[in-house]
Each structure stands twice: as structure tokens, then as C-alpha cells.
Amino acid sequence: MNKKERLSAFNRNNILTAAKKLFEEKGITQTTMDDISKEADYSKSTVYVYFKSKDEICSFIKLEYFELLRTAVSEALENDSGFPDGFYAICNTLMKFYKEYPLFFEIVLDEVRLPDGKSDTVLFRLYEVGEEINDIIENYLEKCIAENLIHLDLPPKQATFVLWAYITGIITMAHKKEMYINMEMKISKEDFMHNGFRLLQKSIII
């Protein structure tokens, strides 16, 4: 990487860091390109040199999270831990992600725009990494089915998507409704999440 490329990477990273900070503090919708340029200490025109729009900034941040998640999910299942250990490893990975990357669920679970061919590089890469993550989970489920550990009433690809919806929904609900869970159920959000995961686990185990 030459000096010009290093400077470009440095500036892009500063802009993305500023955007993530603002998205976490103000929310994505409420954050403007003006806000991002001020936080990054660049002119608005400079920000537009590196990113066409706020949507493109979101896509780059989403790609960063997807790549981190792909590594984390792969590592969670690398010990061939079977079922339910592998299932709980996935759940715990997502719980940890919510804690470490509070913006993750908001930005990653938003609508995914499909790439129009490979010309839209970041969207294509985003789609590609997302499918790689789904493949890791799908392969795990197929292995568990083959070993007669679980049963699924859905094709593995669809079951993978349902699994994501269930686990992320439980985690999101636990954090957003923590006060209600503490007051009305007399349990912690961690207990609520683990109870929800256990309910799902029991529904598919043989």
C-alpha cells in the first residue's frame, strides 16, 4: 500500500468511526452527512469523496460487522460440538455481539439491498459474506439432521433464516424490555434470553 492509499484508508476509517459513534448516540435516521463530517472533522465535500451517501456508509459498517460475525460464528462451531452445544455457542456469540457492538442489530437486521451485479462492490461483498454466514449455520443444521440429533419441518435454508429471526428477536426483546422483565417476571434479561433459547432448542431436538 503506497502513501496515497494509506491516507485514503485512514480517512475512510475516520469517517466510518465517526458515523458509528453518531449512529449509536443519535440513531441512523437522525444522523445526517453534515453530522458525520463535523464529527470526523472533515468538510462535507471531503466525506463525499470517500462515500456517495449515508446509505453507502451504512453498507460499509454493515460489511465490517458481517465479517466479524462470520469469524465469530465459524469459531463457535469449529470444535464440532454437536447439538445442543453448537446451538448455544451460536446464541452466546450473538449475545456477545449485542453487548460489544450495540449498533450491530439495528444496522444488520435492517433491510438488505441486493446488489445489481458485481459493479456495486460493497453491496455484492455484503451479500456474499451474509450468504457465507448462512451457509455455516445451514451446514451445521444439516449435519445435526444427518446425525439424527434434531428434526426440522422446514428446509435447512429457511430454517436458518427462522433461527436468526428467533435468536435475534429474543436478544433484542431482552435488552429493550429489560425493566419490564425484571419487574414483572422477576428475572434478569440474561435468564430471559437463556429461557428463550432453551425453548427453541427443545422444539427441534429429537
Q: Which residue has the higher pLDDT, 5 or 129?
A: 129
* 62-85 residue pLDDT tens: 999 999 999 999 999 987 778 999
Domain residue extents for the chain: 1-51, 58-204
Average pLDDT estimate for 45-63: 94
Write down the pLDDT at residue 119: 64
What integer best gives the mean pLDDT of the chain? 91
Average pLDDT estimate for 12-25: 95
The alpha-helical segments, DSSP class H, found in 2-77 are 3-26, 33-40, 44-50, 54-77
58-204, CATH topology level = Tetracycline Repressor; domain 2 (1.10.357)
Average pLDDT estimate for 89-106: 90
Is residue 116 over pLDDT 90? no
| Count of C-beta atoms within a 10 Å radius of residue 8 | 14
Average pLDDT estimate for 104-113: 74
Average pLDDT estimate for 97-120: 76
* 179-188 residue pLDDT tens: 999 999 999 9
Is residue 167 over pLDDT 70? yes
- Can the peptide bond before residue 102 be classed as cis, meaning omega within 30 degrees of 0? no
Angle of the 54-77 helix axis to the 33-40 helix axis, nearest 10: 70
For the residues of 11-31, what is the DSSP string, one character each?
HHHHHHHHHHHHHHHH-TTT-
Nearest to 89 by CA among 205, 204, 201, 206: 201
Q: Which CATH architecture has domain 1-51?
A: Orthogonal Bundle (1.10)
Quote the CA–CA distance of 138 and 102 in Å, as a whole number: 26
Nearest to 40 by CA among 27, 55, 23: 23
Write down the pLDDT at residue 123: 86
Q: Which pLDDT band, with edges at 50, 70 and 90, does 204 fall under?
A: very high
